[in-house]
Structure 1
Amino acid sequence: MLLAIDIGNTKIKVAVFDADTLVNKLSFNKGDIKHEIQKLFTQYAEISKIVLSSVGEEDAQLLLWLQTQGSLTIINRNSDFPFTNCYKTPKTLGIDRMVLSAGAVLQFPQQNRLVIDAGTCITYDFIDRANQYIGGAIAPGLRLRYESMHNFTAKLPLLYPEIPASYVGTTTKQAMHSGVVNGLLYEIEGFMHRYIEQYGNVVIILTGGDAEFLAKRLKNTIFVNSNFLLESLNKLYLYTIKIEND
């Protein structure tokens, strides 16, 4: 069995895989990482391999501990990826975006792919049918939009995501919900339309913590998978192992 660990900006997500099958998954705060992962090692004694990616600096003590628990593979920019990185500043491309792009290439071969990750920030990553990572966009996610309105104005309240009843808000709260949610939906629809307009057939994958919330209101045909990053980590691990053994 394999343990996949994704250390994000605000949360840590982990999943246990048996080959391609996701057996269990957890999400928790960074301070709880060792305690929560130990639970999985206790529950699944068959875990012998670990793959990890982190958007920030890796915790040296955590890595040392993980190495005592199984064979550890760290995904970073020096890892093998199934695409050519055409980003003009490749060293600034987030490892989470690279892992998602790898998962899109491995799951949807010989197709144009657009991965939309609706998390703390919402990221758009495009990989063409020739497996060239072209680039994308980064924008504030749902919660950042709500928080910025509250933090940078005098009187606007701090709200939490809620599907607006109408695009016309008749109260301040309704107007905020409409502006944030409908504004983000229009943004996503606009990006999807532009990519389809330019590239023709495009496989669109929506993932991240807010994927399910947003998917209910999107009109385009998309693949919605909130576990796509963890699944991509698993696929990328299998890919790197195959490369090393060839």
Structure 2
Amino acid sequence: MILTVDVGNTRIKASVFEGNTSLENFVFEKNELEKKIENILEKYPNCSDLAVASVGSIEKQSFLTFENRLKVHFFSHEDVFPFHNKYATPKTLGIDRMILSAGATLQFPKQNRLVIDAGTCITYDFIDENDNYLGGAISPGLRLRYESLHNFTARLPLLTLETPDTYIGNSTAQAIHSGVVNGFVYEIDGFIDEYRKEFSNFIIILTGGDADFLAKRLKNTIFANSNFLLESLNQTYQYKIDND
């Protein structure tokens, strides 16, 4: 069994895999890390490996505490990946984006793939049908958009995510919801439309914490899977073992 851990900007997600089957998913705060992993290992004592992808601020020592019970691996740019990295600054490409791209490459061979990760930030990553990673885009996620409107203006309130009744907001609150949510959806559909103009044999993978919310609102056909990063982390780790 493999325990995969995704350390994000806000929370930690984990999953226990047997082969390619996820047995259970977990979500917890960073200050709960060691206690939660201990609880997971008590429930799944046959876990032999711990694969970590981290973009958040957390000490490696918190994971190395379990080295006497598990083989611990932190993914880095030095690992082998199933795509050719054509990014102009490859060392600056986030490990989470690399793991997502690896998962898309392994799960959807011989296709053009666009991975959209809607979390704290929204990232777009494109891997062509020849397994070349070409790049993508980064923009603020839903929560950051709400917070920026509040933090960088004098009077706008801090709101939480809510589906707008219409695109014409008839109050300040409704105008904010319309701008944030509809603007977010229009952005994603706009990016997808541009990719479709240039590439055929095309699949779109939507993941991240806001994936389920967005999937119902996009006009484009997508493959939505909020746990795609954890699945990709498991598959990329197995790929690493087979190709080291």
> What TM-score do you get using the length of structure 2 for normalisation?
0.98
- In the alignment, which residue of structure 1 is the partner of 2:13? 13
The amino acid that maps onto 1:181 is: V
5 Å-filtered alignment, 1:135-214, equals 135-214=135-214
Corresponding residue for residue 30 of structure 1: 30
Residue 118 of structure 2 corresponds to: 118
Once structures 1 and 2 are overlaid, which stretch shifts more, 197-206 or 120-129? Answer: 197-206
Q: Distance between the aligned counterparts of 1:54 and 1:78, measured in 2?
A: 14
Q: Which residue of 1 aligns with 2:127?
A: 127
Identical-pair percentage = 57
- Structure 1 position 87 matched with structure 2 position 101: no
Alpha-carbon distance between aligned partners in 1 of 2:57 and 2:140, rounded to the nearest angstrom: 22
- What secondary structure is seen at the aligned counterpart in 2 of 1:114? strand
1:7 partner letter: V
RMSD (CA atoms): 1.0
How far 1:128 sits from its partner (Å)? 0.2
Larger mean Cα displacement after TM superposition, 193-202 or 57-66: 57-66
Q: What 5-or-longer segments of structure 2 have no aligned partner?
A: none
Unpaired segments of 5 or more residues in structure 1? none
Separation (CA, whole Å) in 2 of partners of 1:57 and 1:157: 29
Structure 1 stretches of 4+ with a deviation exceeding 3 A read none
Question: Once the 2 structures are TM-superposed, how far is the Cα of residue 202 of structure 1 from its aligned partner?
Answer: 1.4
The residue type equivalent to 1:210 in the other structure is: D
Matched pairs, number:
244
Task: Tell me by how many angstroms 1:241 deviates.
Answer: 0.8
* CA distance in structure 2 between the aligned counterparts of 1:115 and 1:236, rounded to whole angstroms: 15
- The equivalent of 1:220 in structure 2 is 220
- Cα distance in structure 2, aligned partners of 1:60 and 1:136: 29
Query: C-alpha separation between the residues in 2 aligned to 1:56 and 1:224?
Result: 24
Inter-partner Cα distance in structure 2 for 1:70 and 1:177: 46
The separation in 2 between residues aligned to 1:195 and 1:182, in whole angstroms, is: 20
Q: Distance in 2 between matches of 1:81 and 1:178?
A: 40
Task: Give the Cα–Cα distance (whole angstroms) in 2 for the partners of residues 58 and 91 of structure 1.
Answer: 20
Provide the C-alpha distance between the structure 2 equivalents of 1:102 and 1:201, rounded to a whole number of angstroms.
Answer: 18
Q: Is the 8 A contact 2:12 2:27 kept in 1?
A: yes
Give the distance between the partners of 1:101 and 1:3, measured in 2 at CA.
Answer: 20
